[in-house]
Structure 1
Amino acid sequence: MTVHATHLKGTSHRGYLELPWGQVHYRRSGKAGGPALVVVHQSPLSSATYEPAMGALGEHGLDVVAIDIPGFGMSDAPDGQWSIPDHATALWAVIDALELPEVHLLGQHTGAIVSVEAASQQLDRVRGLVLQGIPLYSDAERAEKAARYAPGYTPAIDGSHLQVVWDRIRWLYPTISAESCSRQVAEYLSVGPDYGVAYRAVFAHVPDVAAVSGVPTLLLHGSEDVLDRMNDVVTAAFPHAPLVRIPGGTDFVAEEQPEAFAEAVAAHVLACATAATPRFTPVYTATVEVTGGRAGRARSLTGALDVRLTRPAERSGHDGGTDPEELFAAGYAACFSSALSVVERRRGATAGPVAVTASVTLGTRPGGAYGIAARLVVRAPECPQDVLEELVAGTHAVCPYSNAVQGNIEVVTEVHGAS
């Protein structure tokens, strides 16, 4: 059966998921239990873009799921304007509903921005990335586009708005077929007059590409893709990612050359699936030499730290020494505070002035073993309590100290925001 570029249905399995904001439509093809590839389309289109390539991807042994982003295609729209972190969190809700423990993410344009953010949120579950054109705009470009890009249309009884949409598509992609244009008109209309809602999220977001530097990444698009112009910027941001340009392909190379597209994608996914999963990428190493144990001295071999250690029970009021628990508390508080700033940036939130206090308690366990427990108190008097609680919860997933002690010691967190 031939699948045409205009076909919104196709031959892949189609289904819906019930999620808190509404129904999500998806397409699925390929081998159940194979490497899972989740495909995130560009806006304001839908997963129909990938329908012609679904079968070809599946023939390589992949379990392929192409979703309609909430508010696009046949997926329900959420209430209000979602940020990119909101879309990424929703993507994980979809992946969880599909019961996929680990995935490869393929994102195009808007979908690439969402995929990078999703990968940064749950790095341990992403085996690889395929970015089919990622818009890494400068601050000036984001501001300019936010001011005038995707102005929307006004429905007219004479149907003239259809010409407005058609002309926009032809302006963006002058070489694509009339059939592809026709399908895209239907996708624009399915979103509604304000089809630029996801664009606004992109223009307000700065992708944290450094956060995914350890994820095996492929840069793949047609040589005529509108974002081909950004290759220098993108390859500099992803210096270890190979760039594959499919000759003659436009933004819709997946429907124009499905076999070539599927072969390039599958080669990357299968290579990542069979490779050992990187669990740790070194960034910095601190080395401290201690002599004399708890009553000795700690001297950094990589920095300026040089302190006398004293046992807490032996410390006097004028004793200038410190102990391992204080050092651990200082490290945890500093790291957690910095990680919270990262989460703020990724989610587009502002907590205002933040103070983090860490308390580390040394104690004994049954059988004579020693252990520690920690308490974190996070204060941000200008941040609404519910917002701060959400940020702190996300910070525990990012902070290296929280990740190191998770499941090993008790950590109690107190959050004090604006009431």
Structure 2
Amino acid sequence: MSAHATHLRGTAHRGYLELPWGQVHYRRSGDTAGPALVIVHQSPLSSATYEPAMAALGAHGLNAVAIDIPGFGMSDAPPAPWSVPEYATALWQIADALGLDRIHLLGQHTGAIISAEATRLRRDRVLSLVFQGIPLYSDEERAEKAAGYAPGYLPAPDGSHLQVAWNRVRWLYPTISAESCSRQIAEYLSVGPDYGVAYRAVFAHRTDTDALKGVPTLLLHGSEDVLDRMNDVVTAAFPDAPLVRVEGGTDFVAEERPQEFADAVAAHVLAHAAAAEPSFRPVLTAVVDVSGGRAGRARSRTGSLDVALTRPAERAEGDTGTDPEELFAAGYAACFGGALGVAERRRRVTAGPVTVTASVTLGTVAAGAYAIAVRLTVTAPECPQETLEELVALTHTICPYSNAVRGNIEVITEVAGGS
């Protein structure tokens, strides 16, 4: 094992991001123009687990970024304990802050659960997945672990709490080196006595593996990984995913066999990197002629649209003309409502009657240019609020209007479901 595997530093570039809850630490290696691989570690450890493999991943031409999950390693903790969806949402904020759009995700244990949920939330941005052990616990296992796993420790003046942490790491990983164990003790201490906060989030969360169908996935871990026992469950959940077991490797195969680990990860990522430029397959084409600009007329060549256009400031009583903002609002609202129906089918839920209201505002920006902003209000009184929020988040990844304007204009979404 290389020397830098035993502490928190290393040779990869390291930096911090400023985000709403605080600073996020990351380490980066490789070509920033290459396929982006975001690595999410297990808790209560840090991105240091992957330091020995970072150079090898970068040598394959990848833009490898290993983050410290908020609250772990050298990243600030959120103001209150987070759920898995909150960690997953934060992961996309981190990706945005790093300037990454479509990415490959590698998650280990807790990090795998967060990566799976991040993929469910923004499937349009995930090109492929690597799960380095994903704990697909049954409801009974989650309840049992929530009752007593990772009980924490109390700092003691004689330092006996250090022995408690050491004994726990040794119990989990009896064959790892003393140097690796020492690094983990530093990571445990950096989190604090309640190092099980992310574990509890995992135990309270049920991973929706059906939502990940179709995402190219690799199952990769050491044969001595503590989650190797779950292979039957995991391969049943991901029947199309190849399973690669590094013989003799533990949970820390990335530091034990960095080149072998990097070769397997890079082969998977590069095989699916071409998906970063998705092909466009036409479904239909609408053709509309407009003469006279905002005070003219719009006539469709492919449908029955034939409407007068009127400048809002010049609209008189009884004027039946419309304007581009109304037409855009109608198109966005109709498209979003249709895409929400697709989201319902994917999530196997029914929202009931849904109304989508689109408000499109024309305004000015710098240098005298014009821009628009959108507010979408989605109302479904028969649908529970939490369910509707999940549907709307998924709909934004499906709706072509949302995909077209993302990153270009402000879109505020309001969701009004039932109790």
- TM > 0.5: yes
1:239 matched residue in structure 2:
239
**8 Å CA contact 1:381, 1:417 repeated in 2:** yes
Q: Partners of 2:404 and 2:59 in 1: how far apart? A: 41
Give the Å deviation of 1:391: 4.8
SS in 2 for 1:218: strand
**8 Å CA contact 1:337, 1:355 repeated in 2:** no
SS in 2 for 1:29: strand
SS in 2 for 1:81: coil
Distance 1:219 1:356, change over 3 A: same
Q: Partners of 2:412 and 2:184 in 1: how far apart? A: 51
Q: Partners of 1:48 and 1:243 in 2: how far apart? A: 25
Taking structure 2 as the reference length, the TM-score comes to: 0.74
**8 Å CA contact 1:88, 1:118 repeated in 2:** yes
Q: Partners of 1:42 and 1:412 in 2: how far apart? A: 34
Aligned with residue 357 of structure 1, among 351, 354, 359 = 354
Distance 1:406 1:253, change over 3 A: closer
**8 Å CA contact 1:357, 1:377 repeated in 2:** yes
SS in 1 for 2:158: coil
Question: Any residues of structure 2 matched to 1:49-68 within 5 Å, and which?
Answer: 49-68=49-68
Deviations 1:161-215 (A, max 9, x none): 0000000000000111101110000000000000000001101111111111111
**8 Å CA contact 2:127, 2:276 repeated in 1:** no
2:42 matched residue in structure 1:
42
The one-letter amino acid of 2:169's match is I
2:251 matched residue in structure 1:
251
1:378 matched residue in structure 2:
379
Give the Å deviation of 1:121: 1.3
Q: Partners of 1:278 and 1:238 in 2: how far apart? A: 23
Give the Å deviation of 1:341: 10
Distance 1:78 1:124, change over 3 A: same
1:394 matched residue in structure 2:
393
**8 Å CA contact 1:131, 1:220 repeated in 2:** yes
Distance 1:132 1:277, change over 3 A: farther
Q: Partners of 2:102 and 2:131 in 1: how far apart? A: 18
Q: Partners of 1:227 and 1:417 in 2: how far apart? A: 39
**8 Å CA contact 1:214, 1:278 repeated in 2:** no
2:292 matched residue in structure 1:
none
User: Does 2:265 match 1:268?
Assistant: no
**8 Å CA contact 2:352, 2:383 repeated in 1:** no
Distance 1:418 1:137, change over 3 A: closer
Q: Partners of 1:184 and 1:359 in 2: how far apart? A: 50
The one-letter amino acid of 1:188's match is Y
Question: Any residues of structure 2 matched to 1:112-131 within 5 Å, and which?
Answer: 112-131=112-131
**8 Å CA contact 1:357, 1:376 repeated in 2:** no
Q: Partners of 2:103 and 2:403 in 1: how far apart? A: 23
Q: Partners of 2:335 and 2:15 in 1: how far apart? A: 48
Q: Partners of 2:118 and 2:378 in 1: how far apart? A: 28
How many equivalent residue pairs? 347
SS in 1 for 2:6: coil
**Structure 2 residue ranges without an equivalent (≥5):** 281-303, 305-332, 358-375, 406-410
**Structure 1 residue ranges without an equivalent (≥5):** 281-293, 295-328, 346-352, 361-374
**8 Å CA contact 2:380, 2:388 repeated in 1:** no
2:192 matched residue in structure 1:
192
Distance 1:9 1:110, change over 3 A: same
1:31 matched residue in structure 2:
31
Deviations 1:227-284 (A, max 9, x none): 000000000100000000001000000000101101111111111113576789xxxx
The one-letter amino acid of 2:354's match is T
**8 Å CA contact 2:382, 2:418 repeated in 1:** yes
Give the Å deviation of 1:405: 8.4
SS in 2 for 1:104: strand
Distance 1:263 1:413, change over 3 A: closer
Question: Any residues of structure 2 matched to 1:9-408 within 5 Å, and which?
Answer: 9-274=9-274, 336=340, 339=343, 355-358=352-355, 378-380=379-381, 391=390, 393-397=392-396, 402-403=399-400
Q: Partners of 2:45 and 2:102 in 1: how far apart? A: 26
Deviations 1:280-311 (A, max 9, x none): 9xxxxxxxxxxxxx9xxxxxxxxxxxxxxxxx
**8 Å CA contact 2:380, 2:418 repeated in 1:** no
